[in-house]
Amino acid sequence: MFNFLTNLFGKNKPWHERPTVIALFELIQFRDRMRQENLHDTATLPTTDDVTQPQPSEDGSHSKIRTADGSFNDLNDPKMGRVGSRFGRNVPLSKVYPDEANLLNPNPREISRKLLGRDEFVPATTLNLLAGAWIQFQTHDWFAHGNDQQGEKYELPLAEDDPWPQEHRPLQVQKTEADATRLSGDTSGPPTYINKVTHWWDASQIYGSDQQTIDKLRTHSDGKMILAENDLLPLDPEIGVAMAGFNDNWWVGLAMLHTLFVKEHNHLCDRLKQQYPHWNDEQLFQRARLINAALLAKIHTVEWTPAILGHPALQIGMRGNWWGLLGQEFKDSFGRIGDGELLSGIVGSPTDQHAAPYYLTEEFVAVYRMHPLMPDEFKFYSVKDGRLLVTKDLFEVSGKRSRSLEEEISMADLFYSFGISHPGAITLHNYPKLLQTLVRDNGEVFDLAAVDILRDRERGVPRYNDFRELIGRKRVNSFEEITDNSEWAKELREVYNNDINTVDLMVGMFAENPPKGFGFSDTAFRVFILMASRRLKSDRFFTKDYTAETYTQLGLDWIDDNSMLTVLRRHYPSLQRTLLGVENGFAPWKKI
């Protein structure tokens, strides 16, 4: 019946041009097929004998809380998804061997200069800048590769007319740190890489992925986390940025979101203590963390995603992931209807790993390369009267410099300024100039756009045309099939020497004509369809253990009843005027 309706209402049309109901069910078909065909396990490749096994806690708490390192989320496979485990793959392992002979061909630096660099800022006008900060905030929870500090470096050739700073030549890039868990000398599979944070959606960017970090961030009183006297995060004196579970690549956008959700954690501790006055510090902390992490996941699922993917089928589908197609009111009133996802959502359904144990994947990392969202210039305004306070560039709001900005401008003014500003569109020729000559606090200088290209090649992520085919899309036969921008097609042809099959994945995704209302490409979206659901479906704290016993009824109600907007209003009430009439916290706010 579904195939009949598909043919009747949109034969030969892409899914996003079909009627909403047909498009929605086609997306469900995409996801179900990819669950079987696009999950591939790297953990089966030979492992050294000295990899430590996680040990259960003596009091059994490991079965009731999110552990520091992510172990015991799956009680039958306690290693699954923990920090230090391998990235999986969304394409067969036979297809992810890096093409060593062509790692620098075409030259990533030339691709950066000729195809990626921002000519002028192209805004994503349906979003506010919080949407750009949010996705980095989330990716810091999900994945982090390490760089090989001691090994060889890649050296990128520089053209005669390349303006790269003379004092920082040659342009070198450290290799990704090798997987130390692989059996020495093993060549039975492609190279694998290690995730430095937990794979789970557990707010590790706030709390940390090891017990030492978690302990350092806690007050050890009433379950709360440390805030300085000025209501900002405590400063790490060694590196000059805020103390956080993950504080690499720090800038003011991250500082804002980390501060907001540390405040939310502490507020949750107060509410839990009122309800359960006999609970100790550890009980309050662990329950507040569970609730806070789930609230973040819900905000991402039903607010951020529909904001950046503005298609009617996605509006329904993402809410369906959380509550089911019957909707929140039905689920709140009558509970689940059976164990299936369709009617009652993934949340609270049985856990399922589908074709492979749960790990985030290298291809998932690749499709979340969204640096064009970042502007080069930031204007900060007063939420009280709309007055322009100061203008800063990207360098001035990042690294050690972010703290002075937080002290100079109130958090409410910072959030207001982001709420009325736009991020950049994720396209060619819109990569931030300042990220193409990125100066880090340690003095290192590199071209992040070139590094993005090189990393996908190094880690064996297939190039654009192969990738399309491996995830179920048709190959393209010409550059004009990628983009209807004739100038871009010409530039792609020149840079890639008229070889359509050498176009890099990120470049192809940036060049694509996205579906109407989409903030990124349909190719990236295919991996999103799979992994957005998987991050929920594989995690027992979103599935079989999403219960009042685990979260408390207060916690479940809190997650249901709150949103990005309620969190903002609670902690920064002066934002109320600018949020009047705003339905999604990541859409543009009202200017004062």
Choosing from 16, 40, 62, 140, the catalytic residue is 140
Whole-number Cα distances in Å, 571 to 319, 341, 381, 417, 575: 26, 34, 19, 16, 9
Q: How far apart are alpha carbons 449 and 117 in whole angstroms?
A: 8
Nearest to 131 by CA among 590, 585, 589, 460: 585
Q: Give residues with Cβ within 8 angstroms of 580, minimum separation 6.
A: 590
Nearest to 304 by CA among 168, 429, 139: 139
The phi, psi pair for 415, rounded to 5°, reads: -65, -40
DSSP annotation of 8: H
Q: Does an H or E element contain 294, and which?
A: helix 281-299
For residue 185, count other CB atoms closer than 10 A to its CB.
7
Q: Which residues of 314-334 are buried (b: 16+ CB within 10 A; e: fewer)?
A: bbbbbbbbbbbbbbeebbeee
Length of the chain: 592
Q: How far apart are alpha carbons 318 and 22 in whole angstroms?
A: 16
Q: How far apart are alpha carbons 127 and 56 in whole angstroms?
A: 44
What DSSP string describes 378-441?
Answer: EEEE-TTT--EEEEEETGGGBTTHHHHHHHHS-HHHHHHHHHTS--B-SSTT-B-HHHHTEEPT
Is 265 labeled as catalytic in the residue annotation? no
Q: How far apart are alpha carbons 1 and 5 in whole angstroms?
A: 6
365 and 86 Cβ atoms separated by less than 8 Å: no
Q: Which amino acid is at 470?
A: L
Continuous H helices in 472-521: 479-482, 486-495, 505-511
R_g of the chain, CA atoms, integer Å: 23
Could you tell me how far CA 573 lies from the centroid of its own chain?
28
Q: How far apart are alpha carbons 212 and 205 in whole angstroms?
A: 14
Q: Give residues with Cβ within 8 angstroms of 339, minimum separation 6.
A: 349, 350
For residue 377, count other CB atoms closer than 10 A to its CB.
14
Nearest to 298 by CA among 340, 347, 337, 264: 347
Nearest to 148 by CA among 184, 183, 170, 172: 172
The phi, psi pair for 63, rounded to 5°, reads: -90, -5
Residues taking part in catalysis: 140
